[in-house]
Every structure is written in C-alpha cells, then in structure tokens.
C-alpha cells in the first residue's frame, strides 16, 4: 500500500523561518481596499464587467457596477481593469502529510482559502490555531473525526497509536466511537470502507442524534442509495458509485461482500476490488444511473469526485516526474513520491491492465459529467497526501479535470466555491456580494474562457488580508528556499499518517 509520512515537531518552523513568519504576512485586514474596474465572476451571478469591490476587515463592504460604487478617499486601490475576480477556492478532500510545514501558505498563494481535513490531525489543529490567532495566514479548515472503519480495518497495523482511525466491530462500538469523536469537537464523522452495514447504520443514527454530519466512503457492504437516504452528507471518490448503477449489481455485490480482506490489507483491497469495479463500470446502466442520481440530488447528497486522485491511480505511467511546481517541495517529499511510484504503482502492471485502467478513468470523467447534469452537487477535492499531489496547485488541476469531463468553466468554479459554501451552511462564502467573507482571488486572465486561467493569479485576499503580486512572489520564493533546506535527522519522516483513500492503485494478478 502507499505510505505517507509525517515530521515530528522538531522540523516545524524551518519553513516559517524562511518565509519570515511569524507574525502574519500580507497587508493586514482592517483598512479599506477597493478593487476597481474588475470583472467579477461567481457561480451565483456569472460574469459582471466593470465592477468595484470594496473590502473592509474580513468582509466585502460593497460590490457592484463602478458607476454605483465609488472608491472612498484613502482606500488602498487595486486596479482591476482587464482582470477577473473570483471567490476563494476550496479543496474539500485533504489530508495533512506533514513532511513540509508549508501547506497553509501553499494553499493561500494558490487562492485556496477553504479546506476540509478528512482524517483528523493534530497538525491541522495546530495550523488552525495559528491561523485563528494571526500567527500565519492560511485557509479556513474544517477538521473531521478519525476514520471510523470496521474490524478488521484496512488501517490495522498502519496506525498503531490510533491517532488516525478507530475500528468498530459492532453497532454498539460504532455508536461509542461517534460519541467519543464528537466530544473532541470534530466538524463531522468520517466513515470508511470496511464498516459493516449494521455498524454504518449505527454511525448514521448516532450522528443524527448528536446533530453531527457524517460522510466519507460508502462501505463495501452498503448501497450508495441507502447511504444517501440515511443522510450521508458527502460521498468521497467514485469507487463505490459503479455498483448502484450496474446492470449486474446483485452478482457484483455478492462478490464484493464475500471477498476476503484481512486487517491492514489496503493493497489487497485494491487488487481484489479492481476487477469488480471494472466490471461494474462496463455494465453501467444509464437508466438505472439516472434514477440513482435523481435520488442523490433529491436527498441533497454532495459528491467529491477527486479526479486528480483517480488519474494518479488509474494512469501512473503518465505521471510527470519533472513538474516545475515540485521545486516547492523538499527532497524528502520528492523522494517519497518517486519511491511510491516505482515500488507501489508501476510494478506488475500488464498492458491489459494499463488499458483497463485508462478506460476506467475515461468512464470516471463521463460519470462526473452525468452526475452534474443530474443535479448532484459536486465539490472539488484532491485527496492531498496522494503521491505527486500538491497543496493548492492540484486544486487547479482538479478544476481542469472537471472541465475536461464536460462541465462548463462556471460549473467547475461553482464546485470549488459556491457548492462548498452551501455544504458548510455558509451563505456568506462562495459569492462576491455585500457582507460576504473577503476570500477572493484576482486573476490576470478569464477563467470562463479557459479554466486553466485560474492559475494566472495576480493577488489573493484571505479574510481581507491582501497578498499582492510582490508579496505572493516573496512567499513562493520563501517556500522554495525552505524546500532546499536540509531537515534535522530527528525530523526525518518516521510515521504514517493521513488517509490512504487511494492506497496503491497498481493492480496485480
């Protein structure tokens, strides 16, 4: 299985020193900022030209046509002519890896102002506290529970201290686990792959009783539609959707249920399930799928496809080992990625398996478009922690994959802005309007013309803190410098953390 690593606290602060932290960087929130003559784009109102947006503190004071919204005397003026302003982006499926302590900064310089941590994390909570107290700028973090899996769990032996997962063998243990996680102040309960149906239903019932959302993987023993009907808030990844939409569902579910999976056998799970997933995808029934998707949309179940994860898993032969963005990551990170590709992803893949995996990925893209067309609310997420995926940068790759799948650029932007805000219950995020949170990204080119223009970032506002072009360049330079610094031997990667939602995609006979 693919392994992730973390650093002990002795390594923390290396990147901070290179970045000139602490205190926080950027122009402080509080003064009045006017973005003048800009084209505003959000999923609620589309594109509006020649707008002025006023920001005071962490809120948008006003936004509207330039002739209606005058620029007050003394405001800091940001010239927006020829530029495009979008809401801050959201990565709704992340895991803290912790090898490099630069995730928060890499998110914000890439315009990612909201993230969702999917497996609990002491380090994410440390970052959250630092951000809240002004020690550094970073995204708003929604941090979930430890992974709640069945017993035996795919995590057994991989998380010896139990900091990432909890295994439950029956409904009573499942309810107790929900109560235990709720007591720690988590934002949601994360369900996992090997929960039995009875334990999953107990998680659902106890979460409802406590008023806590539950979401995550649909377990092998539960239908997608039943999980949605029981109130599952979001479904992560596209692995389990094929069975509900297959003309051969009954036979395939019997095979999946009977498959012998041992404790800690994540690699074995992928190898065993791949032929069933492929068979289910090839027996896709559009009429049946339409009924399933209508049910998800009716229930308000969100879905996070994580296409960049699936692309990495399905097409490891096409991974670019020389992406220039890798200069922002340490030799430890790059070395781990290369090791995982050479030892976990690539070995044993036959030409037939490579062809199957490519076909499966094409089907995943088509599935994403059909989900969107059916009204299922989609959200962007990367499953950061997967090999070669990067904080912030990979969210832009996910947007490009959404459009490649068949969504319009505006739909893709909505999946990264408005839909996450609605999922979080926030009416003051994901839009550019009076009273909204001042999380904004100023682009030098039109993302509706080409979604890849979301990478053409001029400036970022994070809750009203302005990071202009020069400041953004300085931060990136600091991160690049930090990546080149040797880490103390005591800070060498020593443990596995995160969520191997992807595990090892290399399928062997």
Confidence of residue 28 (pLDDT cuts 50, 70, 90): low
Confidence of residue 19 (pLDDT cuts 50, 70, 90): low
Do 403 and 378 meet the contact criterion of CB atoms below 8 Å apart? no
pLDDT at 448 over 90: yes
Q: What is the mean pLDDT of residues 447-472?
A: 98
- Interval 404-433: pLDDT, tens: 999 999 999 999 999 999 999 999 999 999
pLDDT of residue 147: 96
pTM for the whole thing? 0.92
Tell me the C-alpha distance between 241 and 213, whole Å: 20
Shortest CA distance to 87 belongs to which of 470, 358, 485, 429?
429
In the CATH scheme, what architecture does the domain 24-87+431-469 have? Roll (2.30)
Quick one: residue 428, left, alpha or beta (phi over 0 = left, psi -120 to 50 = alpha)? alpha
What is the residue whose two structure tokens read 């990612």?
Answer: 112
pLDDT at 117 over 90: yes
pLDDT of residue 497: 39
Q: Which residue has the higher pLDDT, 82 or 120?
A: 82
Q: Could you tell me the two tokens for 395?
A: 């969210």
- Say which range, 275-279, 390-394, 465-469, 491-495, has the weakest mean pLDDT: 491-495
Do 486 and 18 meet the contact criterion of CB atoms below 8 Å apart? no
Confidence of residue 25 (pLDDT cuts 50, 70, 90): very low
- Say which range, 22-31, 295-304, 437-446, 483-492, has the weakest mean pLDDT: 22-31
Work out the mean pLDDT of the chain and round it to a whole number.
Answer: 90
- Interval 301-341: pLDDT, tens: 999 999 999 999 999 999 999 999 999 999 999 999 999 99
DSSP result, 442-466? EESS-TTT-GGGGG-EEEEEETTEE
pLDDT at 394 over 60: yes
- Say which range, 34-48, 117-131, 285-299, has the weakest mean pLDDT: 117-131
Q: What is the mean pLDDT of residues 18-46?
A: 75
Q: What is the mean pLDDT of residues 262-272?
A: 86
Do 117 and 93 meet the contact criterion of CB atoms below 8 Å apart? no
Sequence-distant (≥ 6) Cβ neighbours of residue 118 within 8 angstroms:
93, 94, 95, 144, 190, 216, 236, 383, 499, 501
Q: Could you tell me the two tokens for 105?
A: 């900064």
Q: Could you tell me the two tokens for 15?
A: 């990147």
What is the residue whose two structure tokens read 């059916």?
Answer: 374
pLDDT of residue 267: 76
Q: Could you tell me the two tokens for 75?
A: 């405001």
Sequence-distant (≥ 6) Cβ neighbours of residue 177 within 8 angstroms:
148, 166, 168, 203
Confidence of residue 160 (pLDDT cuts 50, 70, 90): confident
Do 367 and 238 meet the contact criterion of CB atoms below 8 Å apart? yes
In terms of C-beta distances under 8 Å and separation of at least 24 residues, what long-range contacts does 246-250 make, across chains too?
A: 246/279, 246/280, 246/281, 246/283, 246/284, 246/285, 246/288, 247/283, 247/284, 247/285, 247/288, 248/279, 248/280, 248/283, 249/280
Tell me the C-alpha distance between 336 and 342, whole Å: 10
pLDDT at 32 over 60: yes
Confidence of residue 509 (pLDDT cuts 50, 70, 90): very low
Q: How do the residues of the chain divide into helix, strand and coil, expressed in percent and rounded to 5?
A: 40, 20, 40
What is the residue whose two structure tokens read 């962490």?
Answer: 58
Q: Could you tell me the two tokens for 455?
A: 């990478």
In terms of C-beta distances under 8 Å and separation of at least 24 residues, what long-range contacts does 292-295 make, across chains too?
A: 292/224, 292/225, 292/241, 292/244, 292/245, 293/370, 293/371, 293/374, 293/375, 293/376, 294/374, 294/375, 295/225, 295/228, 295/229
pLDDT of residue 488: 64
DSSP bridge partners of 10: none
pLDDT at 498 over 90: no
Q: What is the mean pLDDT of residues 95-124?
A: 93
Q: Which residue has the higher pLDDT, 45 or 23?
A: 45
- Interval 42-86: pLDDT, tens: 999 999 999 999 999 999 999 999 999 999 999 999 999 999 999
Q: How far apart are the first and last CA of the chain?
A: 15
Distance of CA 401 to the CA centre of its chain: 14
pLDDT of residue 496: 36
Do 448 and 410 meet the contact criterion of CB atoms below 8 Å apart? yes
| In the chain, % of residues over pLDDT 90 | 82
- Say which range, 131-145, 172-186, 256-270, 488-502, has the weakest mean pLDDT: 488-502
pLDDT at 236 over 90: yes
pLDDT at 501 over 90: no
| Entry field: residues in the chain | 509
Which SS3 state, helix, strand or coil, does residue 308 take?
helix
């Amino acid at each position: 299985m693919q392994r992730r690593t973390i650093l002990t606290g002795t390594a923390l602060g290396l990147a901070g020193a290179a970045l000139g932290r602490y205190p926080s960087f950027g122009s402080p929130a509080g003064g009045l900022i006017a973005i003048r003559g800009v084209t505003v784009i959000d999923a609620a109102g589309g594109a509006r030209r020649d707008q002025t947006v006023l920001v005071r503190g962490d809120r948008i004071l006003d936004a509207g046509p330039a002739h209606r919204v005058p620029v007050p005397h003394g405001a800091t003026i940001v010239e927006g002519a020829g530029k495009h302003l979008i809401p801050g982006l959201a990565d709704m499926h992340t895991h803290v890896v912790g090898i490099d302590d630069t995730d928060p900064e890499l998110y914000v310089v890439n315009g990612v102002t909201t993230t969702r941590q999917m497996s609990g994390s002491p380090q994410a909570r440390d970052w959250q506290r630092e951000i809240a107290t002004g020690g550094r700028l970073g995204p708003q973090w929604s941090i979930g529970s430890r992974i709640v899996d069945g017993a035996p769990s795919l995590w057994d032996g991989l998380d010896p201290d139990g900091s990432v997962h909890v295994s439950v063998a029956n409904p009573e243990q499942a309810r107790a686990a929900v109560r235990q996680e709720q007591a720690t102040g988590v934002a949601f309960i994360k369900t996992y792959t090997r929960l039995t149906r009875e334990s999953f239903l107990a998680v659902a019932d106890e979460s409802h009783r406590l008023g806590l959302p539950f979401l995550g993987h649909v377990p092998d023993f539960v239908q997608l539609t039943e999980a949605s009907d029981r109130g599952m808030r979001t479904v992560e990844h596209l692995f389990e959707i094929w069975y509900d939409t297959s003309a051969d569902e009954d036979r395939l579910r019997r095979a999946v249920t009977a498959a012998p999976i041992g404790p800690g056998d994540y690699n074995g799970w992928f190898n065993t399930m791949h032929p069933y997933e492929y068979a289910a995808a090839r027996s896709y029934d559009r009429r049946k799928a339409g009924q399933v998707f209508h049910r998800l949309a009716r229930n308000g179940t969100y879905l996070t496809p994580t296409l960049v994860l699936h692309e990495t898993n399905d097409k490891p032969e096409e991974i670019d080992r020389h992406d220039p963005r890798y200069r922002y990551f340490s030799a430890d990170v790059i070395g781990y990625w290369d090791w995982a590709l050479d030892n976990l992803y690539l070995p044993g893949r036959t030409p037939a398996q490579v062809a199957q995996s490519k076909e499966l990925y094409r089907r995943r893209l088509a599935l994403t478009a059909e989900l969107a067309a059916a009204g299922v609310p989609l959200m962007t997420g990367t499953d950061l922690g997967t090999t070669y995926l990067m904080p912030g940068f990979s969210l832009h790759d996910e947007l490009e994959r959404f459009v490649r799948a068949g969504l319009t650029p505006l739909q893709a932007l909505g999946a990264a802005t408005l839909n996450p805000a609605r999922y979080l219950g926030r009416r003051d995020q994901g839009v550019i309007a009076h009273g909204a949170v001042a999380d904004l990204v100023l682009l030098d080119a039109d993302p509706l013309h080409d979604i890849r223009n979301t990478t053409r970032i001029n400036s970022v506002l994070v809750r009203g803190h302005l990071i202009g072009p020069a400041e953004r360049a300085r931060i990136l330079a600091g991160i690049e410098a930090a990546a080149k610094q040797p880490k103390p031997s005591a800070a060498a990667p020593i443990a596995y953390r995160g969520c191997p939602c992807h595990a090892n995609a290399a399928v062997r006979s």
